[in-house]
């Protein structure tokens, strides 16, 4: 791998930035780059490295951004014919295939609240590849004995949120000890572009919290994107079962399986 691309991949992973690695995996005939040439494409369209330039590189960049959004790799084929050569200024007449692979850092999961459900979510989430952070103002609950392997922060949740920069791709689960605490957290979280934002509680509670937020000017469409009530409907009752339902939903979002369906259903609910 070219050193500049290697360094860019490491930096993207360290900084929690999503990107896709584009690699030439086969060529035939005359092509501007050889097998193994790489280009890193970021979510905002920036690139590092090259697979040869021209309009096919621009097309591959667009496919890479789509792969990032869909969280799925893909294989793209290009025939570098006379028409493409004229458009790109490249003199070549070969064919090549490029493999486009999304690169995602270990996802950060922030649990706001350190109760019994949160402890179970932390355990299951770490087993399934999430890096867990827990925030609560009660040291009796927020401690490493109850949350082994997680980063534990003892602080007032709204105060901590105001003074902390969470990565844009974070997963955030609001499981505080009461309605008021949930509301205070949600005021700072709604509409800030998280990969996942979920609120625990009954439908009646969710309606009350959302109505209060709307009363303060929260956008209905952004509220509709919140996963609430949280978790997949599997009939969960115990804290461990509820944790399984929540983490299952996190995994489904991470894999791109439920995002579109959730947004459509949530939008429908908010219009009623």
pLDDT, tens only, 9-50: 999 988 878 899 999 999 988 888 899 999 999 999 999 999
Contacts of 240 (CB under 8 A, 6+ apart): 120
What's the CA angle centered on 31, arms 30 and 37, to 5 degrees?
A: 145
Quote the CA–CA distance of 59 and 45 in Å, as a whole number. 11
Is 60 exceeded by the pLDDT of residue 182?
Answer: yes
Whole-number pLDDT of residue 93: 62
Considering only residues 120 and 167, tell me which one the structure prediction assigns the higher pLDDT.
Answer: 120
Q: Go through the chain and tell me how many residues it has.
A: 272
- Are 128 and 92 within one domain? no
Average pLDDT over residues 216-241: 92
Task: Show Cβ contacts of residue 263 under 8 Å, excluding neighbours closer than 6 positions.
Answer: 224, 225
Neighbours of 183 (CB within 10 A): 20
Which pLDDT does position 81 carry in this prediction? 65
Mean pLDDT (whole number) for 62-67: 95
Number of domains in the chain: 2
pLDDT for the residue numbered 271? 41
Reported as a pLDDT band with limits 50, 70 and 90, residue 269 is very low
Residue 93 sits in the same domain as residue 179: no
Torsion of CA 78, 80, 84, 88, to 10 degrees: 100
Report yes or no: 51 and 37 within 8 Å, Cβ to Cβ. yes
Say yes or no: 18 and 113 in one domain.
Answer: no
Listed residues 76, 103, 130: the one ending a domain? 103
Distance between CA atoms of residues 220 and 225, nearest Å: 9
Q: Which residues form the domain of 124?
A: 108-271
Of 103, 134, 157, the last residue of a domain is 103
Q: What is the mean pLDDT of residues 117-134?
A: 97
Nearest to 161 by CA among 180, 143, 137, 144: 137
The model scores a pTM over 0.85: no
* Whether residue 121 is found in the same domain as residue 243: yes
Question: Which pLDDT belongs to residue 160?
Answer: 95
Residue 255 and residue 157 in one domain: yes
Do 137 and 83 share a structural domain?
Answer: no
| Structure-token pair, residue 1 | 């791998």
DSSP bridge pairs for 133: 110, 151
Q: Which of residues 88, 103, 118 is at a domain's end?
A: 103
Residues 95 and 140 reside in one and the same domain? no
């Amino acid at each position: 791998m070219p050193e500049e691309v290697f360094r860019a991949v490491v930096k993207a992973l360290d900084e929690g930035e999503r990107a896709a690695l584009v690699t030439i995996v086969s060529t035939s005939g005359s092509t501007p780059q050889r097998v193994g040439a790489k280009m890193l494409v970021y979510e905002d369209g920036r690139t590092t490295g090259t697979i040869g330039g021209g309009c096919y590189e621009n097309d591959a960049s667009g496919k890479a951004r789509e792969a990032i959004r869909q969280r799925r790799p893909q294989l793209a084929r290009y025939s570098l014919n006379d028409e493409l050569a004229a458009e790109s200024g490249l003199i070549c007449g070969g064919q090549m295939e490029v493999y486009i692979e999304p690169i995602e850092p270990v996802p950060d999961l922030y649990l706001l609240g350190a109760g019994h459900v949160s402890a179970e979510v932390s355990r299951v989430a770490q087993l399934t590849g999430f890096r867990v952070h827990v925030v609560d103002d009660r040291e009796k609950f927020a401690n490493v004995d109850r949350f082994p392997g997680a980063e534990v922060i003892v602080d007032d949740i709204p105060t901590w949120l105001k003074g902390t920069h969470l990565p844009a791709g974070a997963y955030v689960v609001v499981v505080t000890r009461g309605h008021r605490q949930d509301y205070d957290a949600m005021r700072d979280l709604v509409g800030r572009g998280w990969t996942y934002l979920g609120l625990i509680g009954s439908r009646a509670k969710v309606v009350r919290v959302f109505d209060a937020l709307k009363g303060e000017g929260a956008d209905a469409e952004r509220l509709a994107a919140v996963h609430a009530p949280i978790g997949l409907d599997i009939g969960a009752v115990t804290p461990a079962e509820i944790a399984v339902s929540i983490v299952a939903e996190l995994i489904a979002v991470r894999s791109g399986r439920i995002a579109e369906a959730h947004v459509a259903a949530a939008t429908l609910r908010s219009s009623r």
